[in-house]
Structure formats: C-alpha cells, structure tokens
Amino acid sequence: MILEYLKLAFRDLFANRLRSFLSLIGIIIGVAVVFVIFSIGDITEYAIKEQISGDKGVIVVQYVDENTSSTNSILAQLMAVTGRGGVGEQLQYHFDEADLSAIKDMEGVVDTFPNYRTTVTVNLKSDSTSGTVIRYQENLMEFFTLTLKGGYLMSDYAPDERMGVVIVDTTFVDFNAHLFDPSIEQSFILRNLAHPELYPKVVGETIRINNRIFVIGGVVYSDSGTSSMLIIMDASAYDSMYSKGTMTNLSVKIDPTYDLEEVSERVTGYLNKTHGTDNNYEVQNMDTLISMLTQVTSILSTVMGIIAMVSLVVAGIGVMNIMYVSVVERTREIGVKRAIGASKSAIRFQFIIESCTLTFVGGMLGILVGIGIVQVALYLLDMNAPTNVGYIIFASLFSITLGLAFGYLPARRAANLNIIEAIATE
C-alpha cells in the first residue's frame, strides 16, 4: 500500500522534473551546509587527536601565569602545538638547569627537552618567508624522532662549524620549494607540496635570519607530525641571538610502562613545590585546546547554521508552494479519487508522501554535495577524517520532517476539497 503511494509520488516528481529540481535547490544547499558545519567540528577534533596520538608518551609542561587570561594561555598552547611558540607574557624563564636534571632523574621519565623556540622571518634568496627557530640539543633527533633526508646532522659538524649551520625540516623545504627552485610553481595545496628531490639539493644554500647568514647543513623529517617549518640552530648561536626566556615549555618523554597521569602529576608537583607556586606549572591539556578550537568553529558554525536555517525555511516554503500548485493542478483528479473511494486521509497521505519524497531526495542530494565539499577540502588540506554516518541518517530524517512540516497544509487542503466542485474543475 505505502509502496504504491511511493511509486505514484515518484512518478509525479519525475513528470515535473525541472520544477521539482528548482524547488529542491534550497534544500540541497541547506542540508549540504548543515553537513559541512557538522563535519568542520568533527574534523578539527579528529585532526587534533591525530596529532596528539602522534606524540604518544610525551607531555608538555608549561608555566601559566595566573594574571594571564585563560584565552591567552590557550592561545599560547595553540601556538606551541602549531610550532609557533613565544608569546609576550610568557617570555620569562621558568625552568632552570636544576629542574631539568631533577625531572630527568624522576622515576618513569625517559628524557626531557626544553623547548626554546622563536618564530622568525627568514630571508631566502631574494624573498622572505617565516619559520620557527629551535635551539639544538644533543637529544633533539631522538626526542622528536627526526630522520635525516639530506645533508648531515648537526652532530656531524665540528663544534666551530655549527655556529653557521642550520638544519631545516622537510616542511620548510616543501613550503618554500618555489624559492629554492624557481621552476617549481608555488602551491597552496598541501598535498602537492612534497618535493623530496629538493631535500639533498638545498644543502649548501644560504638563508638569513636577523641579518646573520646560515648555511643549510641538512634536512630532517618528523614522523610525529608536530614539527613544522623548523629551523634547528646550534645552541650557542641561538643563545647569542635569543634570550633564555624563549623557553616556553618543557617536553617530557614518559616511559610507556608507567601511568602517564601519575608521572605528569609528579613532575608538576615537583615544579610547583620547588618554585613555591600554586599550580602554575601544569601539563598542557588537549581538552582545553579542543574546546578552544571548538569555540572558534562554533562561531563559524553559528553563522553558517543561520544561513542554512534561512535557506531551509525558504526551501520549505518553496516546497509548500509547489505542493499547493500541485493540489490546484490536480483538483479534478483529487475529486475523482474521492468519488471512487479515497478517504480524506488517503488523499492527505498521498500528498504528504509526495512532499516528503521531494524533500528526502533534496536531502540526499544535499548530503552528496556536502560530502563532496568536505572530501575536496580534506584532499586540498591533505587530511583524513571518516565520514560520520550519523549525520547522513540525521539529514535524511531531518529532510523527511521538513517534508512533513511543509507538506501538511497543502495535503490538508487537498483532502478537504469539496468533491463535487473538485470534479467540476477543468
């Protein structure tokens, strides 16, 4: 029975293909936007989690000033994670040598790495670009699991040579490929950026940072995905250019056989005790980072959500209109059907099925468009994220509801037509 009605509804939709499609555009747009909104939130969260899992076993301890607003501290965390450390308020030295060696000797701690980082402008050939200078230490390669892709490691250079040498990471080369080799076109598509053939070639090129000339001595690659645009600089060169206050935080690698939480607490507990501070030392909490990003995306989501709502309401009214037109066009048919035994509810059902089919088809097309947009975006950003089946189900149910809501009034009008007058209509 329902199947027969569905068949009838489909036939009517196809009979008026163009008109049906026009009335669906709004729904397609609305549903696609809703899908994209949902996906943005998901993808940010997913991307952050990916990054965290890449750094398994490493905690980042930081000093948070109570006077600094929480947003600032979150911003600082964000900068640190994205490799752009160094925020004004935090340019104070909060970790001393004693801290480092004490923490290193703690039970469950494998190694520590003080993060001295500074975001700088780099002059490369006749152009300028940016990067994050990081202070070299003997355990750097091992701590961040860096592998050599071209040239030599810092340790391969004699101590007196190191002053004029920097080791860059592959991202730095990839991003600036068009500067190193003019035949390469500048690309904003992350996926197209990798230029492995350049890694050995850039060794020997010179770059200028704060008017000092450095030779690129090697290219390294990070598995963990945490480093980006890194320029590794020898410690004495770094110290001669930047203050100790640029150490924004301390990375601590924890033995996987120990409980991460427990060791983290031991480390922060020690720091707060020896510095006489009241919980100022803390472990960077990814939850706050995620909630911060969610905050940003939620503003975006709200704006897009309003657009989506408006377009859905407009689309709904469009559907209502098309259904009214359909009722008027088929007045005689409705009258005849009533005469040969169709109840009011049968007529109502027929029209509601029709409007729901219409909006459902629109919803499905919207989902397809939405998935398309998200996939293209993911491709361009060279990211991966699973498609949430829940949203597809939600969107289908939602679009059916839309059909119910906006199809009801036209369907009721159809059902309540005067039979005689309806049959007499031309």
Distance, in Å, from the CA atom of 322 to the CA atom of 22, rounded to the nearest integer, reads 10
**What's the min distance (Å) between Cβ of 320 and other proteins?**
23
**What's the min distance (Å) between Cβ of 327 and other proteins?**
16
From residue 131, alpha-carbon distances to 31, 233, 322, 339, 360 in Å are 40, 12, 57, 80, 49
Distance, in Å, from the CA atom of 231 to the CA atom of 85, rounded to the nearest integer, reads 13
Distance, in Å, from the CA atom of 382 to the CA atom of 391, rounded to the nearest integer, reads 23
| Closer of 50 and 421 to ligand ATP (Cβ) | 421
| Closer of 84 and 330 to other proteins (Cβ) | 330
**What's the min distance (Å) between Cβ of 416 and ligand ATP?**
16
Distance, in Å, from the CA atom of 368 to the CA atom of 373, rounded to the nearest integer, reads 9
Contact present, 154 and 217 (Cβ < 8 Å): yes
Residue 153 interaction partner, one of other proteins, ligand ATP, none, beta carbon < 5-8 Å per kind: none
**What's the min distance (Å) between Cβ of 420 and ligand ATP?**
6
Site for ligand ATP in 405-424 (CB under 6 A): 420-421
| Closer of 12 and 174 to other proteins (Cβ) | 12
| Closer of 78 and 419 to ligand ATP (Cβ) | 419
| Closer of 15 and 389 to other proteins (Cβ) | 15
Contact code string over 363-402 relative to ligand ATP, x by CB under 6 A: ----------------------------------------
| Closer of 265 and 421 to ligand ATP (Cβ) | 421
Residue 53 interaction partner, one of other proteins, ligand ATP, none, beta carbon < 5-8 Å per kind: none
From residue 84, alpha-carbon distances to 230, 259, 372, 417 in Å are 10, 29, 32, 70
Q: 153 by DSSP, 3-state: which?
A: coil
The residue ranges of DSSP E strands in 170-305, in sequence order, are: 206-209, 212-222, 230-233, 247-254, 281-283
Distance, in Å, from the CA atom of 321 to the CA atom of 406, rounded to the nearest integer, reads 9
35: its two tokens: 């899908």
Contacts to other proteins by CB under 8 A:
1, 4, 11-12, 15, 332-333, 336-346, 419-420, 423
